[in-house]
Amino acid sequence: LVTYFSSQDGVLCAEGVPLPVIAEAVGTPVHVYSAAALRDAAHRFRSALAILPSVRVAFAVKANPNGAVLHLLAGCGFGADIVSGGEMRRALDAGIAASDIVFSGVGKTDRELADALAAGIGQFNLELEEEGQVLASLARARGRRATAVLRVNPNVDGRTHAKISTGRRGNKFGVAIADVPAMYDRLSRLEGLDLVGVALHIGSQLRDLAPLEEAYDRIGYLVADLRARGHVISRVDLGGGLGIPYRADDVVPTLDAYAAMVGRVTRDWDVELTFEPGRVVAGLAGVLMTRVIWVKPGADHPFVIVDAAMNDLARPALYDAFHRFEAVAPDGERMVANIAGPVCESGDVFAVARDIDRVRRGDLAVLHATGAYGAAMASTYNCRALSPQVLVDGDRFEIVADRYLPEEFAA
Ligand code: LLP
């Protein structure tokens, strides 16, 4: 595993920039991204999939909507997968062509649909029949046709955290696979709609290819069925979901294994495949740098109270997620501690009873692998600021999002 965050002369760096330099210039907490890591992940994703005949890659903007990050990924040939008007704005502003944007999401408002039509968004991923009807009539009113696919719920358990599993019966996403053929017949007759295929996405941080393969298999049968009913199926959107190693010993599928599986399953499909990766592109390309405010004695272990909190990185509080903690300038000693933020909730804890680098008041440290669903999920809870974001490229860095205080939202 190549990492772009490694120690040089005992000090943790982002590429060629020592992290204390960034802390000095920008303050903490701060999200730090590595441009090389983003490019590397983007290129590895694309080149693994190069064994497939026809591929489009749409970065899942929800994972990291930072404009500079999107712009960089656009330069690597990525389109965007969006789920709101706000994400559409970010993607377009970053220079991503409207035709390279896929609009997913279970609750697109009429306003969002109309704006996306006006912008010329390339593909709408429909979640229910009525959405297709509304989209068709909005398109007709403009004398246009909207290109769409129907999102299928394949009823496959992605075997990931329940809160990020999306492909099971009972989840709010997609249309039950048994209902798809008849619905597809009806939707395809609508004036104003070009229904060109199907989509699925069964969950995120998937550590195993088997559920994905099972879901894709079901889609293969569905495509054959739809064709037998006379439909022209030219696109299948296979979603995102590949996991990344958060712990040193996490085992996740390789991109080559994923591509090989997709190649095998989709061999006879004769469609253009769309992928919507988020985490696997951006996750390992970011760290959250924080400063230790106190080391507070605790009942079982001391609490390392850091200046980052659940409003900067919600994943541990929401999903009990693990993010590796590392001191920026470790002294070689270890300690067992709980790591917590200042927010007034007992759930604002990044780690419990963890063996970590010894840190003291004032020390800098990072939480690793926060490039996806880190800043993206930030809030101003407790009237805390949205933390700034910095993009490192070689031995230079740039502030790509300012620290943003709640009172500035009113302005
Ligand atoms: N496409 C669709 C339709 C999605 O719903 C998602 C993620 C993706 C693509 C991208 O999935 P990825 O490749 O990043 O796994 N906040 C959670 C993750 C939520 C993912 C939601 N959907 C977390 O921090 O773990």
Are 200 and 222 a contacting pair, CB within 8 Å? no
Find out whether the beta carbon of 151 lies less than 6 Å from any atom of ligand 1. Answer: no
User: Which residues of 9-88 form beta strands (DSSP E)?
Assistant: 11-14, 17-18, 30-34, 55-60, 79-82
CA 282 to chain centre: 7
CA 68 to chain centre: 15
For residue 11, the CA-to-ligand 1 centroid distance in Å is 33
Q: Which residue's structure tokens are 């068709």?
A: 136
- Kindly give the interhelix angle for 255-265 and 209-228, rounded to the nearest 10 degrees: 30
Find out whether the beta carbon of 81 lies less than 6 Å from any atom of ligand 1. Answer: yes
**Which pLDDT belongs to residue 217?**
97
Same fold, 5-34+283-410 and 105-275: no
Helix (H, G, I), strand (E, B) or coil at 320: coil
Find out whether the beta carbon of 123 lies less than 6 Å from any atom of ligand 1. Answer: no
User: Which residues, at least 6 apart from 34, have a Cβ–Cβ distance to it below 8 Å?
Assistant: 4, 5, 14, 15, 285, 286, 392, 393
Find out whether the beta carbon of 240 lies less than 6 Å from any atom of ligand 1. Answer: yes
d(CA 131, CA 389): 36
Which pTM does this prediction carry? 0.97
d(CA 212, CA 203): 9
The percent helix, strand, coil of the chain (3-state, each to 5) is 35, 25, 40
What confidence tens digit (pLDDT) does each residue in 379-402 have? 999 999 999 999 999 999 999 999
Are 223 and 198 a contacting pair, CB within 8 Å? yes
For residue 125, the CA-to-ligand 1 centroid distance in Å is 15
Mean pLDDT score, 190-204: 97
ipTM, two decimals, is 0.99
**Nearest protein CA to atom 7 of ligand 1, as residue:** 204
> Taking all residues of the chain, what is their mean pLDDT, rounded to a whole number?
96
For residue 220, the CA-to-ligand 1 centroid distance in Å is 23
Atom of ligand 1 nearest to the CA of 277: 13
Q: Of the residues 103, 204, 379, which should be mutated to test ligand 1's pocket, given the most ligand atoms within 8 Å of the CB?
A: 204
Q: Which one-letter amino acid corresponds to residue 108?
A: K
Q: Which CATH superfamily is domain 5-34+283-410 in?
A: Lyase, Ornithine Decarboxylase; Chain A, domain 1 (2.40.37.10)
Q: Which CATH superfamily is domain 105-275 in?
A: Alanine racemase (3.20.20.10)
Mean pLDDT score, 348-359: 98
Catalytic center residues: 344
What confidence tens digit (pLDDT) does each residue in 7-20 have? 999 999 999 999 99
Residue ranges per structural domain of the chain = 5-34+283-410, 105-275
Q: Which one-letter amino acid corresponds to residue 69?
A: V
Find out whether the beta carbon of 241 lies less than 6 Å from any atom of ligand 1. Answer: yes
What confidence tens digit (pLDDT) does each residue in 59-101 have? 999 999 999 999 999 999 999 999 999 999 999 999 999 999 9
What confidence tens digit (pLDDT) does each residue in 271-328 have? 999 999 999 999 999 999 999 999 999 999 999 999 999 999 999 999 999 999 999 9
What DSSP character marks residue 120?
T
Are 288 and 366 a contacting pair, CB within 8 Å? yes
What confidence tens digit (pLDDT) does each residue in 103-149 have? 999 999 999 999 999 999 999 999 999 999 999 999 999 999 999 99
Are 303 and 340 a contacting pair, CB within 8 Å? yes
